[in-house]
Amino acid sequence: MWDGIIVGGGLAGLLAGIRAAERGKRILMISEGVGSLTYSSGVIDFGNVAQLVRQDKHPYALLGESIVRNGADYFQAHFPDYHGKWREVQTVLTPLGSPRKAGFIPNGLNAQVLHDAHLIVLMAPEGMKDFFPKVTKANLERAYPQCVVKVHPFRLDAFESWHTLGKPVNGMDYTKYWRSASGTGALKGVVNSLNQELDEARSDPADPGKSVVVFPGLASAFSNSIKEVLSDLPFPVVEMTAFPPSASGHKLYDALKETFGALGGELMVGTGVKQVEIQGKRCHKIIVKSKGKDSEFSARSFVLATGGVFGGGIEVTPEASKEMVFGLPLYVPDEWTNSEFLGDQPYARIGIEVDRELRPIDSKLNEVILENVQVIGRMIAHWDPWVEHCGGGVSLASGWFAGETM
């Protein structure tokens, strides 16, 4: 008998697992895939909290601002590589080099320093997939008109054979290489030669100084060796967020898993729930299909963190929408879409309606459906991360709350 079983291993599920395990609970996490963090930029967005806590039925409104904040604080306490202050907006660079707002950001991404820069050196790793130096330069020039932007291309012996074959080298490949022993050495070489160039520029009286280096495909968070190389430099380095797949998101996923495991949590990846056993208003047991045979697991409480439509927790067909684990009823908006793709899209608010304890409710009868099940993250109804920009915040708050109370 487990104290808790968490179905789904993305940001919300893992944070719930970490908190519960830390409280001494025996937690099993069952995850069909590896969550969506690798698709994300690794940045945690909170959105306009003050406004969203007043928005009818929004997860922030159900939980209240103090719990949203607790989730954020808790996350930051465990992952000090994430910087940012509560309700303070930060700036990071998009993969196209435009500044954008963000909540908590991984070490090295803070772009604030660009406001005071006079020279931006844009590092351009040879042939990096989905990184466009010219577009990025143009966007940096537009955003920071006081700056001169210089592109600094470089190529590495390690990828010579890739270039010859025309094989793409994506940001993850570069990040992986920088983290290896030989790659860290190469990184030192790259930044040292840059430093010499900048030194010469600095001795030029026409150059007013204040140089900042913008570096794509570098993820210093959770890597002491890279941080060490960068800390010795006389100029600040601003990392860029990445187009999927993103090393920053991936490293956060790794760090969450590691923390969960270190606290005694058990993680099964690649298995889905086949069936659940319910008695009255309680779930007792889940049956998972694993390695060709079925296995049963019993627990006192359960957390549903299967990631909504994208995570596979909700399946929509032309006839019906279905929650895939417990078969819970879903809030399905009457109007499904709007014409402006990046505007409000009603479909995005599909999900499970929950009470303040995050238990699934029948909203017509106003009754809890399953008393020992909590729903977190993207599975909760009535929010749209792509217009409200609060995806990280909802996951952390609901994940933390479930871990705290299960």
Task: State the residues that interact with other proteins by CB under 8 A.
Answer: 36, 39-41, 45-48, 51, 89, 94-96, 98, 100-101, 103, 127, 129-130, 132, 134-135, 138, 163-166, 168, 241, 243-244, 246, 308-310, 312, 315-319, 336-337, 339-343, 345, 347-348, 385-387, 389-391
Q: Would you say 54 or 356 has its CB closer to other proteins?
A: 54
Q: Would you say 181 or 341 has its CB closer to other proteins?
A: 341
Q: Find all residues with CB under 8 Å of 74, minimum gap 6, and list them.
A: 15, 19, 396, 400
Q: Would you say 139 or 223 has its CB closer to other proteins?
A: 139
CA-CA-CA-CA torsion for 30, 37, 60, 62, nearest 10 degrees?
-10
Phi first, then psi, for residue 305 (nearest 5°) are -135, 50
Give whole-number Cα distances, 92 to 119, 140, 174, 201, in Å: 18, 12, 20, 27
Q: Would you say 240 or 299 has its CB closer to other proteins?
A: 240
CB of 160 vs other proteins, minimal distance in Å: 12
CB of 124 vs other proteins, minimal distance in Å: 12
Q: Residue with structure tokens 């910087």?
A: 83
* Helix axes of 247-262 and 11-22: crossing angle, nearest 10 degrees: 20
Q: Which residues of 210-249 are buried (b: 16+ CB within 10 A; e: fewer)?
A: bbbbbbbbbbbbbbebbeebbeeeebbbbbbbbbbebbbb
Q: Residue with structure tokens 């871990």?
A: 403
Q: Would you say 169 or 369 has its CB closer to other proteins?
A: 169
Q: Would you say 39 or 189 has its CB closer to other proteins?
A: 39
Q: Would you say 50 or 262 has its CB closer to other proteins?
A: 50
Q: Which residues of 8-23 are buried (b: 16+ CB within 10 A; e: fewer)?
A: bbbbbbbbbbbbbbbe
CB of 367 vs other proteins, minimal distance in Å: 29
CB of 122 vs other proteins, minimal distance in Å: 14
Q: Would you say 130 or 371 has its CB closer to other proteins?
A: 130
CB of 386 vs other proteins, minimal distance in Å: 4
Nearest to 10 by CA among 267, 381, 272, 307: 307
Q: Would you say 204 or 340 has its CB closer to other proteins?
A: 340
CB of 300 vs other proteins, minimal distance in Å: 32
d(CA 290, CA 190): 47
CB of 328 vs other proteins, minimal distance in Å: 18
3-class secondary-structure state, position 254 = helix
d(CA 172, CA 178): 10
CB of 139 vs other proteins, minimal distance in Å: 9
CB 337 within 8 A of CB 386: no
3-class secondary-structure state, position 95 = coil
CB of 319 vs other proteins, minimal distance in Å: 7
The total of other beta-carbon atoms located within 10 Å of residue 326's CB is: 21
CB 316 within 8 A of CB 323: no
CB of 340 vs other proteins, minimal distance in Å: 7
CB of 208 vs other proteins, minimal distance in Å: 27
Nearest to 399 by CA among 3, 2, 9, 1: 9
The total of other beta-carbon atoms located within 10 Å of residue 363's CB is: 14
Q: Is omega for the bond preceding 245 within 30 degrees of 0, making it cis?
A: yes
Q: Would you say 97 or 403 has its CB closer to other proteins?
A: 97
Q: Would you say 271 or 321 has its CB closer to other proteins?
A: 321
